């Protein structure tokens, strides 16, 4: 069975940086990519019921989780996008920027038909090491505050960065170093905005909010191998009972509710993007046998693994 690519546009799909892929609104190398205007593809996506095929077999899909191989910065200019990012659902609105680190699990669950956005993707090795030491993006600082609202002035500056990046890649070849430095400047600009951002209503995140964010990060990292409250409580230096109380107060769900959801997402990624038979997926996810896995998956989703895979 042939599987679709697990990314909406994948810089990893380009094997040679000296031969970039180009279209009217997309530029890709194996290190860097920019989608400058995807409004046409988004309208096709919605009218086609969830799948729009981009040139050269790049895909953009709705309601299908995938693990990003590269970092993303998305600037929304118009419309609305609903995403589930590392288990948590967010709504992106106009004049907001979304920063997603490589390795994150993301699922686009809804897109307004008049959406206009700009997006860049970049491999971890594309950014200079000095930038990685200076900004929170590379220290996990964006795993909770992933969406930033922009003032009119900030939006204009952000649009200017994307416009200049797009204009630079229109030249013959790929001006790697200028693009690299301009992207680094954009990351610094976003990092400065993030440090100065205060949510509406004032105040910083509460201790409960920070604890919940750390817990979700741990679940996304360890859910395949660790499925007990004691493990996560130990990582957070809490008692299992107290952790369950805090997580329920913060989210309305228990620790194991979140762990089970994370396991389902991992299963969906493997079922849609790997050629592994169901029994191998069950084995990778450390279920005792395929029957236990199938019962768990159907309880969580209402479908069998095979029904999800072929749906």
Residue 202 within a domain: no
Question: Above 90 in pLDDT, residue 249?
Answer: yes
Residue 188 neighbours by CB under 8 Å, 6+ apart? 131, 134, 135
pLDDT digits (tens, 9 = 90+) for 299-308: 999 999 999 9
Looking at the structure, tell me whether residues 108 and 250 fall in a common domain.
no
Domain at 147, CATH number: 2.60.120.280
Spatial distance between the Cα atoms of 227 and 259, rounded to a whole number of angstroms: 7
Residue 302 within a domain: yes
DSSP 8: S
> What mean pLDDT comes out for the span 39-63?
58
Looking at the structure, tell me whether residues 242 and 280 fall in a common domain.
yes
Residue 4 within a domain: no
- 27-64: b or e for each residue (b if 16 or more CB lie within 10 Å)? bbbbbbbbbbbbbebbeebbeeeeebebeeebbbbbeb
Of the candidates 160, 176, 196, which is a domain's last residue? 196
Residue 112 within a domain: yes
Q: What is the pLDDT of residue 272?
A: 86
Residue 56 within a domain: yes
Q: What is the pLDDT of residue 159?
A: 97
253 alpha-carbon distance from chain centroid: 22
Looking at the structure, tell me whether residues 34 and 177 fall in a common domain.
yes
Token representation of residue 147: 């969406």
Residue listed under structure tokens 């309880």: 299
Angle at CA of residue 123, ends 117 and 125, nearest 5°? 145
Mean pLDDT over all residues of the chain? 83
Q: What is the pLDDT of residue 56?
A: 35
Looking at the structure, tell me whether residues 33 and 174 fall in a common domain.
yes
Looking at the structure, tell me whether residues 119 and 229 fall in a common domain.
no
Q: What is the pLDDT of residue 15?
A: 55
Q: What is the pLDDT of residue 49?
A: 59
Q: What is the pLDDT of residue 8?
A: 39
Looking at the structure, tell me whether residues 119 and 43 fall in a common domain.
yes
10 Å CB burial of residue 15 (0-12, 13-18, 19+) is: exposed
> What mean pLDDT comes out for the span 217-231?
94
What 3-state class would DSSP assign to 65?
coil
Residue 5 within a domain: no
Q: Which domain holds residue 263?
A: 207-310
Looking at the structure, tell me whether residues 25 and 119 fall in a common domain.
yes
> What mean pLDDT comes out for the span 199-210?
69
Domain at 272, CATH number: 1.10.10.60
Spatial distance between the Cα atoms of 280 and 196, rounded to a whole number of angstroms: 47
pLDDT digits (tens, 9 = 90+) for 2-49: 443 333 345 555 555 567 888 888 898 888 999 998 777 777 766 665
Q: Which of residues 295 and 19 earns the better pLDDT score? A: 295
Looking at the structure, tell me whether residues 246 and 157 fall in a common domain.
no
Of the candidates 173, 196, 219, which is a domain's last residue? 196
> What mean pLDDT comes out for the span 93-106?
88
Q: What is the pLDDT of residue 6?
A: 37
Q: What is the pLDDT of residue 54?
A: 42
Q: What does residue 190 show for φ and ψ, rounded to 5 degrees?
A: -65, -40
Looking at the structure, tell me whether residues 36 and 171 fall in a common domain.
yes
Q: Please give the model's pTM, rounded to 2 decimal places.
A: 0.80
Residue 103 CA: distances (Å) to CA of 32, 36, 67, 145: 16, 23, 6, 16
> What mean pLDDT comes out for the span 284-295?
96
Looking at the structure, tell me whether residues 65 and 181 fall in a common domain.
yes
- 104-130: b or e for each residue (b if 16 or more CB lie within 10 Å)? bbbbbeebbeebebbbbbbbeebbeee
Strands 32-35 and 26-28: antiparallel
Closest CA to 101 of 60, 137, 75, 147: 137
> How many domains in the chain?
2
Of the candidates 174, 196, 218, which is a domain's last residue? 196
Looking at the structure, tell me whether residues 113 and 20 fall in a common domain.
yes
Q: What is the pLDDT of residue 1?
A: 39
Q: What is the pLDDT of residue 22?
A: 86
Residue 155 within a domain: yes
Question: Above 90 in pLDDT, residue 127?
Answer: no
Looking at the structure, tell me whether residues 20 and 160 fall in a common domain.
yes
Residue 36 within a domain: yes
């Amino acid at each position: 069975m042939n599987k679709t690519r697990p990314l909406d546009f994948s810089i990893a799909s380009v094997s040679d940086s000296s031969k970039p892929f180009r279209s009217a609104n997309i530029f890709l190398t194996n290190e860097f990519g920019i989608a400058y205007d995807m409004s046409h593809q988004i309208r096709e996506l919605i009218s086609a019921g969830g799948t729009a095929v981009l040139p050269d077999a790049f895909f953009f899909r709705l309601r299908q989780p995938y693990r990003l191989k590269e970092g993303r910065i998305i600037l929304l200019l118009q419309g609305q996008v609903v995403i589930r990012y590392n288990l948590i659902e967010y709504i992106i609105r106009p004049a907001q920027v979304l920063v997603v680190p490589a390795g994150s699990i993301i699922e686009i669950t809804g897109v307004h038909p008049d959406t206009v956005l700009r997006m860049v993707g970049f491999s971890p090795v594309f950014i200079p090491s000095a930038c990685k030491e200076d900004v929170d993006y590379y220290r996990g600082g964006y795993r909770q505050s992933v969406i930033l609202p922009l003032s009119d002035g900030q939006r204009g500056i952000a649009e200017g960065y994307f416009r200049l990046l797009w204009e630079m890649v229109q030249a013959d070849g790929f001006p790697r170093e200028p693009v690299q430095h301009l992207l680094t400047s954009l990351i610094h600009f976003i990092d400065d905005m993030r440090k100065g951002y205060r949510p509406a209503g004032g105040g910083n995140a509460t201790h409960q909010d920070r604890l919940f964010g750390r817990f979700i990060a741990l679940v996304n990292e360890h859910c395949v191998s660790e499925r007990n409250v004691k493990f996560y409580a130990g990582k957070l230096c809490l008692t299992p009972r107290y952790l369950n109380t805090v997580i329920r107060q913060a989210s309305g769900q228990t620790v194991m509710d979140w762990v089970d959801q994370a396991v389902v997402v991992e299963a969906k990624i493997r079922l849609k993007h790997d050629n592994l038979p169901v029994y191998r997926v069950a084995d990778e996810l450390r279920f005792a046998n395929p029957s236990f896995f199938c019962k768990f998956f159907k309880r969580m989703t209402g479908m069998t693994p095979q029904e999800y895979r072929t749906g």
